Amino acid sequence: MAKDVEKNKPEEQSAEGGKEKKKGSMLKWIIIGVVIVLVLGGGGAGAYFFLNKSANKEAQAVAKPPIGAVWAPDVFIINLADADADRYLKVVMNFELSDPLAVAELDVMKPKVRDMVLSVLTVKGIKDLNNFEGKQRLKEEIAMRLNNHMTKGKVVQVYFTDFVIQ
């Protein structure tokens, strides 16, 4: 009988141990699964933030075009070429230049620049300047005339900072 008791004990122990092994192995797989999900989630979040920051830096670099040197002549006040009414134009403009050395060149040839701009403005009427397209053509014409006489760079853009017709 003692042998029977000893025989029953290992069988009971192995049955209980099997349940513990099943519970332990199932718990181990759950923990491994949770760890894998956390590692993958953390890696995905890290990659998202890393790639998002580099994309933002590239977008900011593209979004901010560099502006060149700017030269601002004096105010221009001229009579418009309208025969039916006496009108005048007051315009303040800035020239964006491709080369900073061009600022010194424009300072030296300031009387010539003023003469060129005045000769362009005095032949314009209110119909030429009263809409967006007319102002754009005027900017292009002024830039073209100045670029023909400059040697140390070019006028990239003409900006009107004040434009009054009365």
Same domain, 87 and 107: yes
Q: What are phi and psi of 41, to 5 degrees?
A: -65, -45
What confidence tens digit (pLDDT) does each residue in 93-132 have? 999 998 889 999 999 999 999 999 999 999 999 998 989 9
Determine the residue type at 163.
F
The whole-chain average pLDDT of the chain stands at 82
Same domain, 54 and 104: no
- Spatial distance between the Cα atoms of 146 and 47, rounded to a whole number of angstroms: 52
Residue 11 pLDDT more than 60? no
Residue 162 pLDDT more than 60? yes
Q: How many CA atoms lie within 13 A of 165 on its CB side?
A: 17
Can you give the residue range of the structural domain that contains 3? Answer: 1-64
Span 145-163, mean pLDDT?
Answer: 92
Question: Of 163, 148, 165, which Cα lies nearest the Cα of 94?
Answer: 163
pLDDT value for 158: 94
Same domain, 113 and 148: yes
Same domain, 20 and 79: no
Same domain, 50 and 106: no
Same domain, 131 and 79: yes
